[in-house]
Structure 1
Amino acid sequence: MGQIITRVRKDGSPSYTAQVRRKKGGKTVYNATQTFDRKSDAKAWMKRKERELNKPDGLETVVAKTKEKTLGQVIQAYIDSQAQIGKSKLQNLKATCRFPIAEEPVTQLTASDFLNFARDLLKGEQPAPIDPTTAPDDYYELAPRLPQTVGGYMSHLGVVIQHAGPLVGQKLPIAEFLEAMSSCRHLGIVGPSGKRKRRPTLEELNKLMDYFFKFSEADPRAVPMHMVILAAIFLTYRQAEHTRLLWSDVEDAFADHDPTLLIRGMKHPRIKGGLDVTVQVRIEGLAVIRAMPEVSDRIFPYHPDTISRRFTEACKLLGIEDLHFHDLRHEGISRLFEMGLSIPDVVSVTGHQHWPTLQRYTHVKKVGDKFARWPWLSLIGL
């Protein structure tokens, strides 16, 4: 028989730890425990485990399963093996580890298991909270995901299934996963990533610039987000790429001619870790660099997460909906095309390594520079 141990947490709430143990030849050969917030859940889990063990050859079957790696263990082994891993990929894989499928022996997963996991994601099922004691009451309410979002989860999981076998010394169910993905695409459970078309209006940018400028004046130690916004528009690099820029990588920020700038680890569609790319800096981008104080070896010595958080908080406070920091880069690139630059000219500034990516901008009309008389250019001496 199993047992349930009741404990009281620091906040006064009870926890119930169910334990199921089996011995053979005087030695413990199986021991499983799990903690729950509700006693009824602990009892249900314990009864389910005991039913498995009481089947003919049940103990031998369960013991054999415990020697296999679970999907969660395989995912963690993959994460641990990566010197660098993208933020979204890491978040998705860690979240997957908190779904029930992660507790299953990986070699026994079927196409139906993967398909049902994708369906649960689409429906809006939530992973187990990292800390159940701090999870809000509505944590488990369904929050439906877009097929594109589900596709991101499944794509990242697929990389693990395809490549982590040698890491854990087991043959992983690649064929089963591919079969499930074929069904997911046919059923519309997963979809391709949609290209965002959101661009900030001058009115929205004025609100953000005014807010951050005043904030910076009140607290000079804060990240000068008004300057970071100018950099995002006029330098057109990705958020993390801005924060890696070094003063030593600028050919000559105070030269009369257009200088070049080395972008370290620029994202590349086929090269892990990116490439170091040299780009041309236009007059507005150069003016932003010149306006930055040289207080570090980095031109923008700030953490990307801090930039994202401050930008998101400001948009919410100012009532600006559905605007991401990355949309500023889209605005900056669109501006170059609106000014009449060709794709090769734009590439020399943005550093794009995959030209077809810029095809989304070919519809942009040549309307001139909408920032030509923008009052905030005075911050960078223009």
Structure 2
Amino acid sequence: MASFSIKKRTLKSGESRFTVDIVVKKNSAIIHRESKTFRKKELARTYANKRVLELENPDESGQKSVPLCVLLDKFMEEPDLWDKTGRTKQYVIKLLRDCDISKVESDKLRTSDLIQHCKNRKGGGAGGATVYHDVAYLRSVMKKAKPVFNIAANFQIFDEAVPVLIDMGLIGKSQKRTRRPTSEELKRLKLGLEQRESFRPNGKTRIPFTDILEFSILTCMRIGEVCKLRWEDLNQEHKTILVRDRKDPRKKEGNHMIVPLLGESFEIALKQPNKGELIFPYNSRSVSAGFQRVRNELGVEDLRYHDLRREGASRLFEKGYSIEEVAQVTGHRNLNILWQVYTQLFPHKLHRKKQ
């Protein structure tokens, strides 16, 4: 049975707000809860009556419930959603499609279902941060169920479930990485990558791994950004380049940014053959895969290509650049994230700080 209550609160400005609390009970236990705030009490009451009717008579709202596997399939089949979904999120959604939780009805998902899923994943060796992605991305898909597919989905259950999952230690945030390559490791990596450059089986394209490695460090760019740089965006007079669609959690497209090419990065770019639109016309996955193979062959442990971005940012700080100046290179809008996540200073190198 669904019911609602309306609570009034007064803002500091003196204005009133009316919050509708709607609950659905079954056998005296709350199985669903949601709330929404309005400026006028009449609007709040109208909305509440409509939602109670929808919850008690779901067929009348035109919405239906489906197994989560069906909802996940629909999400993957919708180009306007799937094509704008990042690689990691796509991987997780495909994984969820094959998990037991995908058999649960979209409007009947409960905290106990999520607890069991997280336990299954942890039992399979997944860490708390990895399992957290499962929960976050499933919630993201379910929030789009009603507006996009007209499917009833109980995504509000995550408000109740997430704190419980955290308390149980089933999900958690990833630990801050502090890994930077040592000078000796970089020397060995460059030597190994030079050898790989000279080895081109079956006439495959020669990838200038060492140039790309050094360029990545000097510019603090992600490998995906490096491999999309265009000759037309290179300003030789100012020694800058336009980085298109730079990653930003608030805006995934159109986030263009002019970046200075510091150190030898400008010269590295100029020495690349100008035979097409791109300065580094290579598949970013092939570049990172080559790096990983050399790293593994050399026995360099726990070093990721993305750690080179941290290496570059840390070097700039050690040279005396301000956090605002470094952000112009890395593209960070949030300076706290830049300082906390992308820096790991070597204290002895502070002696080299520019005066």
TM-score range, shorter chain: 0.7 to 0.9
How far off is 1:247 after superposition?
Answer: 0.6
8 Å CA contact 1:107–1:171 kept in 2: the answer is: yes
Instruction: Specify which of 154, 177, 183 is matched with residue 202 of structure 1.
Output: 183
How far off is 1:362 after superposition?
Answer: 6.7
Letter in 2 for 1:98: D
Aligned residue in 1 for 2:142:
161
Aligned residue in 2 for 1:94:
94
8 Å CA contact 1:261–1:279 kept in 2: the answer is: yes
The normalised TM-score by structure 2 is 0.74
Distance 1:115 1:169 in 2: 27
Q: 1:207 to 1:343 in 2, by over 3 A?
A: same
Any residues of structure 2 matched to 1:141-290 within 5 Å, and which?
144-219=125-200, 221-252=205-236, 255=237, 258-273=238-253, 275-290=255-270
Q: 1:344 to 1:164 in 2, by over 3 A?
A: same
How far off is 1:321 after superposition?
Answer: 0.9
Aligned residue in 2 for 1:352:
332
Cα-to-partner distance string for 1:231-250 (whole Å, 9 max, x where unaligned): 11011111111111101111
Cα-to-partner distance string for 1:149-174 (whole Å, 9 max, x where unaligned): 11122111111122222222122112
Aligned residue in 2 for 1:116:
116
Q: 1:77 to 1:369 in 2, by over 3 A?
A: farther
How far off is 1:307 after superposition?
Answer: 1.7
Q: Which SS does the other structure have where 2:290 is aligned? A: helix
Distance 2:185 2:194 in 1: 14
Q: Which SS does the other structure have where 2:85 is aligned? A: coil
How far off is 1:222 after superposition?
Answer: 2.7
How far off is 1:183 after superposition?
Answer: 0.8
Letter in 2 for 1:343: I
Cα-to-partner distance string for 1:32-58 (whole Å, 9 max, x where unaligned): xxxxxxxxxxxxxxxxxxxxxxxxxxx
8 Å CA contact 1:77–1:167 kept in 2: the answer is: no
Letter in 2 for 1:222: R
Q: 1:167 to 1:357 in 2, by over 3 A?
A: same
Query: Which residues of structure 2 form unaligned runs of 5+?
Result: 1-63
The normalised TM-score by structure 1 is 0.69
Distance 2:335 2:191 in 1: 35
Aligned length: 281
Identity in percent: 30
Instruction: Specify which of 68, 73, 92 is matched with residue 71 of structure 1.
Output: 68
Distance 1:287 1:233 in 2: 14
Letter in 2 for 1:187: M
Cα-to-partner distance string for 1:282-326 (whole Å, 9 max, x where unaligned): 132112212222232111111121122111111111111111100
Distance 1:334 1:260 in 2: 20
8 Å CA contact 2:246–2:252 kept in 1: the answer is: no
Q: Does 1:314 align with 2:311?
A: no
